[in-house]
Amino acid sequence: MTIRQRLYLSNLLMIIMPIVLTGIVLSGLFFIFSDTFGRNFFHQWQENRIYAKEYDQIEELKTKFDAKPPTEKQMIAEVARIDRQFPRDYISVLVYSKEQKLLHREGPYQEDKIVKNMLADPQQHTLVVNNVLVNRLEIGGFHLLLINQKYHMNLEERLVDNKQKILFVIVLTLACVILFVLLTNYLLSRFIFRPINDALTVLLNGAQQIRDGNLSWRTSYHEEDEFLPVVNSFNEMAERLETMVTEQEKTTENRKELIAGISHDLRTPLTAIKAYVEGLDKGVATTPAMKDKYLRTIASKTDELTHLVEQLFLFSKIDLGEYALKIKTVNIGKYLADVIEGVTDEYAQRGLTIILGARSFQTKAAIDPEQLRNVIMNIIENTLKYGNQTENQLVIEQYEDLDQVILTFSDNGPGVPAEQYEKIFNVFYRGDQARTQTGKGSGLGLAIARRVVESQKGTIEAAPSPSGGLQIRIQLPIRSAENEDKE
């Protein structure tokens, strides 16, 4: 049950329960004190009131016929009309003429000694004998006797005599009403606020766990009420916070590796440049040929520094999202053939055989041609540097898999241990063997490749190649004709 439903139910019960319980108490009190003001008392009171109302109606006839006395027919008609308003078998009306002759009777009461005594004494207007009340009224020369056969005497006196009981009942009733209201409020408060308190306790415990650094904590809550989405949002927040902290820690670690890598890769060419400059300054190079060699080495190391700085600058812009891609829809098979055919001879002369295998000429993809070419060239350069020392070979293939186009680059080199497949895409990461071979690369190539591919909504990963070397696998979304039409 939701909290809103609980509130609706509690508001309804807050009204109904005190009324019902008070009614039960009053019923019990009326049963206990029925002689004083119970059911019999109110019944008797009601009978007297009905008789009094009929008496008032008949008395009003005096005013009606004050100016002009009624005829016998009019009088009988008025008495019959009034009697129809109060159809009770214990009330009777007898109409007499001036000569005390019975003209009309309404009700069951018959002439008896009480009636005759009443008519015999013109000064007597009210007579009570054995719960029979007789009232005489003189209207327009007629004598009207109004008789109540169930007259209950001394009702008012009974109330006065039992005022202490009445006061006790009133006080007890008020006390019960207050008690029932308080009791109902207490029970319904527990009914409403206990689940709220339990939910707040669960949330507080979860907040304390997160505060204390337990970011893997997830709050468990199973009630189907308004707190469930709050708890779910809290768990989602905790999960995102854990992810953010983990990524921040990973970023911090990568930053440390980046600084260490930059320091290493800058120190090597700078040390060489410094050494050759000192050699020139101190006259170590004594011949023109040696001086020329020193200068060429300094220029080479300077080019290495320039390339490293440019790679760092490009990586920073891509990583910060400040590099504007120039996306175009291209035939990926033809694009790949153009890129590879343009560099095959060059790399063959440098000791790397590039084989362009299966590919499709119907598949289209949305890419930045220039940046994807840089990715391909980085992979080729890595194969040249770290591939097989003899008969170095790279097989490039392209095919479709559902709605993705796959590019694979498989070499026949020594490969990479499985635990390093993910790490080789980190900034400045190189295997231990590669790190000891100075001058073979900056360690930024594959890191830049990952950023470029991911910015084009693709993925890049490493795996073992069929020949036992390393395979780089790039996956890009296929550009369908329907998507082209939308644009």
Q: What is the pLDDT of residues 268-320, one digit of tens each?
A: 778 888 888 888 888 887 888 888 888 888 888 888 788 777 767 766 776 66
Separation between Cα atoms, residue 479 and residue 331, nearest integer Å:
9
Residue 250: both structure tokens together: 């990973």
Secondary structure of residue 78 in the 3-state scheme: helix
Residue 394 has pLDDT above 90, yes or no: yes
Q: Which residues share a beta bridge with 397?
A: 408
Long-range CB contacts (within 8 A, 24+) of 195-199? 195/3, 195/6, 195/223, 195/225, 195/227, 196/3, 196/227, 199/223, 199/225, 199/227, 199/230, 199/231
Secondary structure of residue 449 in the 3-state scheme: helix
Q: For residue 393, give the DSSP letter.
A: E
- Matching CATH number, 227-316, of 2.40.30.20, 1.10.357.10, 1.10.287.130, 1.10.565.10: 1.10.287.130
Q: What is the pLDDT of residues 16-47, one digit of tens each?
A: 777 877 777 777 766 666 555 555 667 777 88
Residue 206 has pLDDT above 80, yes or no: yes
Least confident among 187-191, 195-199, 267-271? 187-191
What is the pLDDT at residue 438? 42
Separation between Cα atoms, residue 46 and residue 148, nearest integer Å:
13
The answer to whether the beta carbons of residues 176 and 25 sit under 8 Å apart is yes
Separation between Cα atoms, residue 12 and residue 6, nearest integer Å:
10
Q: Kindly list the distances between the CA atom of residue 450 and the CA atoms of 81, 374, 406, 447, in Å, as whole numbers in the listed order.
A: 108, 11, 15, 5
Q: Which CATH class, in words, describes the domain spanning 34-158?
A: alpha beta
What is the pLDDT at residue 427? 64
Q: What is the pLDDT of residues 153-167, one digit of tens each?
A: 766 555 555 566 667
What is the pLDDT at residue 16? 77
**Residue that the structure tokens 């040929």 belong to:** 289
What is the pLDDT at residue 434? 44
pLDDT band at 397 (very low <50, low <70, confident <90, very high): very high
Residue 33: both structure tokens together: 């004190």
Q: What is the pLDDT of residues 71-98, one digit of tens each?
A: 889 989 988 998 888 878 888 999 998 8
Residues with Cβ < 8 Å from 199, sequence gap 6 or more? Answer: 221, 223, 225, 227, 230, 231
The full DSSP string for 154-169 is THHHHHHHTHHHHHHH
The full DSSP string for 86-143 is S--TTEEEEEE-TT--EEEEESSPPP-HHHHHHHH-TT--EEEETTEEEEEEEETTEE
pLDDT band at 471 (very low <50, low <70, confident <90, very high): very high
Provide the 10 A C-beta neighbour count for residue 470.
26
Once rounded to an integer, what is the mean pLDDT over residues 364-380?
A: 89
What is the pLDDT at residue 442? 54
- The domain spans of the chain are 34-158, 227-316, 324-486
Separation between Cα atoms, residue 437 and residue 444, nearest integer Å:
16
Secondary structure of residue 392 in the 3-state scheme: strand
CATH topology for 324-486 is Heat Shock Protein 90 (3.30.565)
Once rounded to an integer, what is the mean pLDDT over residues 257-272?
A: 73
Q: What is the pLDDT of residues 474-483, one digit of tens each?
A: 999 987 655 5
What is the pLDDT at residue 396? 92
Q: What is the pLDDT of residues 429-451, one digit of tens each?
A: 655 444 334 444 456 778 878 88
Q: What is the mean pLDDT of the chain?
A: 80
What is the pLDDT at residue 304? 75
Residue 428 has pLDDT above 70, yes or no: no
Q: What is the pLDDT of residues 107-129, one digit of tens each?
A: 888 888 888 888 888 888 888 88
